[in-house]
Chain A
């Protein structure tokens, strides 16, 4: 049944570091730094000021525009500052700093019966809970689930592929929180009025395939699809291709081919918001890497310093050369351990100095290895040439905007060319040209 997509790579996955260890609640941090912008779209507007007392779940940032998301406190205690702080994606950004009082008191909103709640009510709850896509992109969920006039979704796909090496958070969620994930899946399927739903899981995650299939065995319109292991199987377009054999055209959304994809963690948050009235104040973070003493998946409060989570995993056995939020293929290298966990932080990966090799860039030898692995069917070596030469006009013919920045091309490039970096540059340059 499941097809394969073209291109892609088979990196070493290192999942064994964390795969078989149960989710663990992280220690309550003494202080959290919660950025008001953790999502795609406008930052939330702060609604608290220094001195205010908050509980877990208290709204601290209100979603201001349609494309935005609200932000909640993840600690009970006192607001000590609303100021610019280090941010894992933006460098520095406005954040609410909360000092904990150790009581961990919660302020939840009223829960609903997940089987009967109306679609309008669900969307309201999702907006209220500040849910964003938890796979990393952090696109506000209420926006995504609000279909534009005239669009129909016939198929919903739950993305359990988790194709980034090292990461196992979604896997643990599917194994340990199966029923809640299925609950979220059903809610989303129902409000989208989708006839069919699929759960895509890479076949090496056998236990997740098993438990999800078991939980769904009486559902005729929901099917678990084991997928071939290949990066980036979890890319939306690749997932839709493999499961439905539909191709989302460049510049279009899955919606345009009648489907929608959400990540496992997102489905869990939707379920928690609806049936427990919980806003999104914590998430699963895979703290991992060969140099981390006790790598594990932690349930961490949003705003926890990443350095604290590393400490909680026993610290490092040797100096880290690189600390990355997210996975090794698309994650971001961090300057400092002071950045907080945000809604999109899927993992914290520490690579030892020996594990990262820095090489001088060599001339492109036109070997086309990059071409063979590009899952979008692009010509990375040609795009590289055009970006380097600044031939922006010609670049338009090479569909640079379709590039996922998945990193496959650079992963295989024998000449150490920073292709993804060049493509990011090229994209922003093209955007600048378009705007002026």
Chain B
């Protein structure tokens, strides 16, 4: 028998889940969303997604080359960022603008902090926030689904806020409305989200806390002023809430590690979102609510440290 065995500290077996497989799972989970977006927005969706992904990957490589770091494309995180970024853009956005946003997402959203694991903000949302600040008009110009030309159409939330017009809930659920590429179909998002929860890759507490808070507060303001504020179902289904709740507010790197913290993060995002929808100038609010909560994560982690075993119930 040969000797020269490998010596490492215990444990000697592993679960087989690694960063790469977690990222791949996110991609799989997004397949229904991507499929619906392509069905609704056709070739526009395909091109937009491709541009965002390629730009994100290139930016990652270039950054790592410049800083003489190991190229870590294989961990899949840049791919996920690129794809998610595409899915929160208006389908009709000029491709150059989209590419610029993807560069910002990777560069300012992630690499500047030291790469994966060190960033504070969700990279895709950083990219979008940047575009929103620089090109507000482009970011709020929506196209009608199924149209190849740029027939503009307001989003359900926009229709509600600025025209007081409601969109049928069934449309919101299935997704034949105007909106960002991947946010329109609740069904597709829920399918992917359920998959990730089932795999144990995301914690249900964040999406649950987020959506229920929006629902409850939505119900509350709806009761106060039903004319101005739509039903809570509408608040939940319209806009980017579900996509944000399942795919952005659950980004491991930028959300709390404690269980209590995850509740706080979800509920806090919900409160901020309703606040923004009531008082903000914008009909949306998902992006800023999550970005704002991202900032509080170190604080949340610090103050929600779990009580270790043995301090909960003595005797």
Interface residues of A (CB under 8 A from B): 5-6, 9, 11-12, 165, 237, 241, 245-250, 252, 257-258, 307, 310, 315-316, 319-324, 326, 328-337, 349, 351, 356-359, 362-369, 371-372, 375-379, 381-382, 397-399, 402, 405, 407, 410-412, 414-416, 418, 420-421, 424
- Offer 15 A-B interface pairs, CB within 8 angstroms, sorted by A: A246-B315, A247-B314, A320-B1, A333-B5, A333-B9, A363-B118, A366-B253, A366-B257, A368-B252, A371-B257, A381-B257, A399-B308, A412-B17, A420-B10, A421-B9
The 8 Å CB contact of A418, one of B8, B17, B262, B306, is: B8
- Please state if A247 and B307 are interface contacts (CB–CB under 8 Å): no
User: What's the least CB distance linking B36 to chain A, in Å?
Assistant: 27
A382 partner residues in chain B, CB cutoff 8 A: 257, 301, 305
A315-B1, A365-B117 are known contacts. Are A247 and B310 too (CB-CB below 8 A)? yes
Q: Are A250 and B8 in contact (CB under 8 A)?
A: no
Assembly CA distance A403 to B107 (angstroms) = 38
- Mostly, the B contact residues are loop
Tell me how far the C-beta of B259 lies from the nearest C-beta in chain A, rounded to whole angstroms: 7
* One of B1, B12, B255, B315 near A247 (C-beta < 8 A): B315
Q: Which residues of A contact B7 (CB under 8 A)?
A: 322, 333-335
Residues 1-39 of B at the A interface (beta carbon under 8 Å): 1-3, 5-15, 17-19, 21-22
Other A-B contacts than A248-B310, A329-B10, 9 sampled, CB-CB below 8 A, are A322-B8, A329-B11, A333-B8, A358-B8, A363-B116, A365-B19, A371-B306, A381-B257, A407-B10
A324–B13 Cα distance when bound, in Å, is 11
Interface membership of B309, Cβ < 8 A: yes
Contact (Cβ within 8 A) A330 B116:
no
Interface contact A320-B5, CB-CB below 8 Å: yes
**A424 nearest in chain B by CB position:** B9
Given known A-B contacts A333-B7, A363-B118, A356 and B12 have beta carbons under 8 A apart: yes
> Are B9 and A335 in touch, CB under 8 angstroms?
no
Beta-carbon contacts of B247-260 to A below 8 Å, as 1s and 0s?
A: 00000111111110
- In the complex, per-residue mask of B59-101: 1 if CB is within 8 Å of any chain A CB, else 0: 0000000000000100101000000000000000000000000
In the bound complex, residues from chain B placing their C-beta under 8 Å from that of A424 are: 9
Known: A371-B258, A381-B257. A411 touches B13 (CB 8 A): yes
B225 located at the interface, meaning its Cβ lies under 8 Å from any Cβ of chain A in the complex: no
For residue B116, which residue of chain A has the nearest CB? A363
Closest A-B pairs by Cβ, 8 of them: A407-B11, A363-B117, A367-B252, A368-B257, A421-B9, A249-B310, A399-B308, A328-B13
Interchain CB contact under 8 A, A418 and B252: no
Chain B residues near A334 (CB, 8 Å)? 5, 7
Looking at the assembled complex, report how far the CB atom of A135 sits from the nearest CB atom of chain B, in whole angstroms: 15
Contact B11 A247 (CB under 8 A): no
